[in-house]
Amino acid sequence: MQRRDFVRAAAAASLFPLAARAQGTWPERPVKLILSQPAGSGPDILARYLGEQLSRTWKQPVVIENKPGGQNVIGAQAAARSPADGYTFYYATTAAMVTNAYTFKSLPYDPVKDFVPVRLVGRSPFVIAAGANFPVKDLAEALAKAKAQPGGISIATEGPKTFSGMLADTVANLGGVKLNHVPYTKAPDALQDVIGGRVQLVCLPDAALTAYIKGGQVRPLAISTTQRSTELPNVPSLSETFPGFEYAGWNGVFAPAGTPADVVARVNRDIESVLKQPEVAQRLLALGSIAEPKMSVPEFDGFMRGERERWAKMVKTLGIQPE
């Protein structure tokens, strides 16, 4: 064989895997989604539902691997160190990819350098609610009571440096009051104390509160999105009290840095196709996540830059020091 023919053949062979993927042979084996949360948690339920839909599209199983602990650090680190071969992805939340960078002095993974954004799946609003026996009918009254009783009103959150804790502090800061944090690792424990009157307020994802709201055990005061929720249409948005305010968690899919761009683009398109199905969007809404109907890879990358900038300002305003 002539030398130039050999070089051409070698070049063609090196391009074959990319061409094969582009022609639709990917995936040829099961795809893994790593989570930082335990089985049965909100993100886990969402990821498993999305995985079921994608497995139908790909004709391959989507395996969920739970690696909880360390405020998302264990799972994120495992995902960052996974092979960038297009068969392992990270189903992440805001904490792992944004807020941890501002609340930890150091992380064993880099949310920016170690991952490639693939697709935003949905946004998860939070709700501030009061126990049924706490005599306030709206957020304004709750803030007025906190102002009249400095240090006398407590709010159940997941901790002062968690997503719910920072939301509670932001609202208190905007309202010119101080709320006492009572941290909980489990939402049911927090809600039992709020229902029992030991804590006056609670701030958690709406999915964790919906059943208690419908049962009349807690009274919703505000939802953290700019618009009211179709699931809770009578609950005012925080932007109605503080114009322009928006504070929603989100969940999305990321890939280890170096994952082939064509696979990233394929996964983005396939997730978008799934999310456009009305029954899927409705199911996600029932699970506490508002499906994102359209977002390309570059748009998701831009979204992530905006999130990092927004959170950097918020953390500075609250005076949060990394630990």
Q: What's the average model confidence in pLDDT over 65-81?
A: 95
pLDDT digits (tens, 9 = 90+) for 8-56: 444 444 444 444 444 458 999 999 999 999 998 889 999 999 999 999 9
**Structure-model confidence comparison of residues 24 and 60, the more confident one:** 60
pLDDT at 4: 45
Residue among 157, 167, 130, 160 at smallest CA distance from 145: 130
Percent of the chain beyond pLDDT 90? 69
Mention the CATH class of domain 3-124+248-318: alpha beta
Mention the CATH class of domain 125-240: alpha beta
**Structure-model confidence comparison of residues 14 and 232, the more confident one:** 232
pLDDT digits (tens, 9 = 90+) for 279-302: 999 999 888 899 999 999 999 999
pLDDT at 287: 87
pLDDT at 24: 58
Residue pair 154/179 in contact (Cβ under 8 Å)? The answer is yes
pLDDT at 227: 85
Instruction: Give the integer Cα–Cα distance in Å for 54 and 31.
Output: 10
Instruction: Give the integer Cα–Cα distance in Å for 248 and 127.
Output: 10
| Residue 214, both tokens | 């419908």
Q: What's the average model confidence in pLDDT over 103-122?
A: 96
* Residue listed under structure tokens 């939340």: 93
According to DSSP, residue 239 is labeled: G
Instruction: Give the integer Cα–Cα distance in Å for 102 and 238.
Output: 24
pLDDT at 292: 93
Q: What's the average model confidence in pLDDT over 270-275?
A: 98
Residue 2 has pLDDT above 90, yes or no: no
pLDDT at 15: 46
DSSP H or E run through 183:
strand 180-183
pLDDT at 107: 96
- Give one DSSP letter per residue of 75-103, joined into a string: HHHHHHTS--SSSEEEEEEHIIIIIHHHH
Under the banding of pLDDT at 50, 70 and 90, the label for residue 126 is very high
Residue 156 has pLDDT above 80, yes or no: yes
Residue pair 252/300 in contact (Cβ under 8 Å)? The answer is yes
pLDDT at 308: 94
Query: Whole-prediction pTM value?
Result: 0.82
Residue pair 123/292 in contact (Cβ under 8 Å)? The answer is yes
pLDDT at 245: 84
Q: Map out the domains of the chain as residue ranges.
A: 3-124+248-318, 125-240
**Average pLDDT of the residues of the chain:** 90
Pairing of strands 88-93, 201-205: unpaired
Under the banding of pLDDT at 50, 70 and 90, the label for residue 250 is very high
